[in-house]
Chains A and B, each alone.
Chain A
Amino acid sequence: MVKTEHPTAERGHARANREAPQPGTSLPPIQPVLRSLNPDIAPGRNGQNPVHLPTTTPTEQSPQGPAIHAELAAEQHVLSTEDFKLHYGKHRALHGITMQIPAGKVTALIGPSGCGKSTLLRSFNRLNDLIENVRVEGRIRFQGQDIHDRKVDVIRLRKKMGMVFQKSNPFPMSILENVVYALRIGGERRRRVLDEVCEKSLRSAALWDEVKDRLHTSALGMSGGQQQRLCIARAIAAEPEVLLMDEPCSALDPIATGKVEELIYALRGKYTVVIVTHNMQQAARVSDYTAFMYMGRLVEYGPTNSIFVNPHLKETESYVTGRFG
């Protein structure tokens, strides 16, 4: 059924895994789990097992080409990569990624640890520039502009892309100064503007009511969940077009995670969100599209419910059902 062939040793290993008999403790079937998490997700055709649809014929596609679902073609995209490769020194972390990030939607990047999710995310705002010996090939376009072009001002690029990190990183300043940091470094001094932006951003991050009485106290005195929402507020305050989130909930307890997920859900439409997550249930809950990456390659990319319920490739199915990775 699977049209794409993956001759590499890793892929072979994955397949071997998949075909091995599962121990009795394997996860429950994915569909009921997903339905219980998100009722929007439709079951597979006739409630049957995932149906594997051939995307293209083998002659039209390189053996390692990804399965990109047709729905993506209908979307307007704000960010795209074209055969993007990234090397850390001699080690190649991304092997030619070609994908498009739809505007105003939440796109989740999933895949096992070390598959290059963070690397790809950090390539979008060129944060990898800081790391020594990083070399890139191929293109990333933001609003049609090649971001590695010499004309591009990387500071302005980053101002258009908010980023939220795995570990919350409030600066050692007051809550207010944290939120308006982007404005401050842009030279904004007017008290009224700063106060307004602070309130607006904290409200969007659903944090205003919790902190409005202590805006001038240190942000480091907040709880972990509050700190992470503060970081989201700080990213929003700069009015970016894209929000990049790298496992924003991995250090949070379930209640704080729930709040942040609600927030991400509420941000759809206003911002283009790209979220890296380890947690597939989270990807299912918050995202419109999901990209599955493996060993530095994009494997499958499509609407979240088809990726989870009706993936085209066996690899994807194995991963989302928790059989490897």
Chain B
Amino acid sequence: MSVVSGTLQSPMQSPPLPGDGGRLPRGGASIVQQGGAESRADLLFALLARGAAIFILIMLGALVLVLTTAAMPSITAFKAHFLASSSWRPNEREVVMRDAKGNIMRDADGEEVTVTLPPEFGALPVIYGTVVSSIIALFVAVPLSIGASLFIVRIGPRIGLLLGPISFLIEFLAAIPSIAYGIWGLFVLAPFLQDHLEPALNAVAGKVFFLRMFHSDQGLTGRDMLCAGLILAVMILPIITSLGRDVLRAVPRVQIEGSLALGATWWQSCQVMLRYGRTGLFGAIMLGLARAAGETMAVAMVIGNANRISSSLFAPAQTMSSLLANEFAEASSNIQRSALVEVALILLVMSLLFNVIARYMIVGRSARPAV
């Protein structure tokens, strides 16, 4: 076919082409699909894109499948109790029986009566630890990072040359390996909390009921839930800031000018920006949350690794990922390994749930940004 692809030729100008033989109407030939190299490339690209999307879905499916299979022994052994139980007993343990009054029971020979408890696992303390440490992290990081992105977008252009270094430094925080944060947390943040912040809070907060979480009757070590939450806050700060900055930068100028022209103050016009970008900001926060919930090394170093639920933020705790980091290599039995895999599965499902809930909250509102 010698008709040039993609050009419309008038019948006046194009003489009958040899080989066309009347199969195609003259002049109409050029808009019929030619099946040339271009369209083949299009097709290939479409297939590639679709393939990539399907591949990601398959990966996710395979991940869930493998985790579920490996967690099966634990799931069948502990069922739903796994989610509600606080015990974490990797090895069987013998305990002495006591009677109703609390006296040790003895048999006829005067020997203590003992029972052997089988290994038992419950994920409640680590679920609690993950949720609470992430909440602390968001509580600290969200206002700071949204504030920082507003600063970069609204005030940044006015500080001229300084903006570059500031932006760079904030993004550089994201590139620091988490072990470095862990070491900083262990040697700087934890001692600071132990010696200064926590004693000070302890003194006041013990007296007020709803501030109980900032109070502990145990000795303060600094390596506790609060420390983990603060480390996580520092770690998720750059990701929320840089994503938030991009979101706010994309807010149309007319939105800001529109509110200012109506007599909005600086902060009121910022609120319009935040409102316009709220879907994107929520996404940024979600990504920060996902990182906080999954972060392992730094948390394992500063959280104190105690598998129990405490109402105080000054008590050592454990998160799902720090539990996995601490115990997986040394798991002594198959059932323990299986229980740990189940914890990993719960972590996966939980982050999925976070996202679904977040989506629902956004889409559920009547007023939402265009596109």
A162 at the interface (CB under 8 A from B): yes
How many chain A residues touch B (CB < 8 A): the figure is: 33
A163 at the interface (CB under 8 A from B): yes
Query: In the docked arrangement, what's the CA distance between A182 and B269, Å?
Result: 12
A141 at the interface (CB under 8 A from B): no
Query: In the docked arrangement, what's the CA distance between A162 and B263, Å?
Result: 9
Main secondary structure of the interface of B (DSSP, over half): helix
> Which single member of B254, B259, B261, B272 contacts A125 (CB below 8 Å)?
B261
Main secondary structure of the interface of A (DSSP, over half): mixed
B366 at the interface (CB under 8 A from A): yes
B143 at the interface (CB under 8 A from A): no
> Which single member of A159, A172, A219 contacts B262 (CB below 8 Å)?
A159
B369 at the interface (CB under 8 A from A): yes
Task: Say whether B262 contacts A235, CB under 8 Å.
Answer: yes
B260 contacts which chain A residues (CB < 8 A)?
127, 130, 158
B257 at the interface (CB under 8 A from A): yes
B275 contacts which chain A residues (CB < 8 A)?
171-173
B225 to chain A, nearest CB (A): 37
CB-CB under 8 A for A217 and B258, given A155-B265, A185-B268: no
Among A125, A162, A171, A173, the one with the most B-chain Cβ atoms within 10 Å of its Cβ is A171
A161 at the interface (CB under 8 A from B): yes
A240 to chain B, nearest CB (A): 9
B231-268 interface code vs A (CB 8 A; 1 in, 0 out): 00000000000000000000010111111111111001
Task: Say whether B259 contacts A155, CB under 8 Å.
Answer: no
> Which single member of B254, B262, B276, B366 contacts A167 (CB below 8 Å)?
B254
A156 at the interface (CB under 8 A from B): yes
Query: In the docked arrangement, what's the CA distance between A288 and B368, Å?
Result: 40
A163 contacts which chain B residues (CB < 8 A)?
257-258, 261-262
B101 at the interface (CB under 8 A from A): no
Task: Say whether B263 contacts A172, CB under 8 Å.
Answer: no
B177 at the interface (CB under 8 A from A): no
B367 at the interface (CB under 8 A from A): yes
Query: In the docked arrangement, what's the CA distance between A310 and B95, Å?
Result: 109
Cβ contacts A to B, 20 pairs, < 8 Å: A125-B261, A127-B260, A127-B261, A158-B260, A159-B263, A161-B261, A162-B262, A163-B261, A169-B252, A169-B254, A169-B255, A172-B275, A172-B278, A177-B367, A181-B262, A182-B263, A185-B268, A220-B368, A220-B370, A235-B261
Report A's interface with B, CB cutoff 8 A: 125, 127, 130, 132, 155-156, 158-159, 161-163, 165, 167, 169, 171-174, 177, 181-182, 185-186, 216-220, 231, 234-235, 238, 244
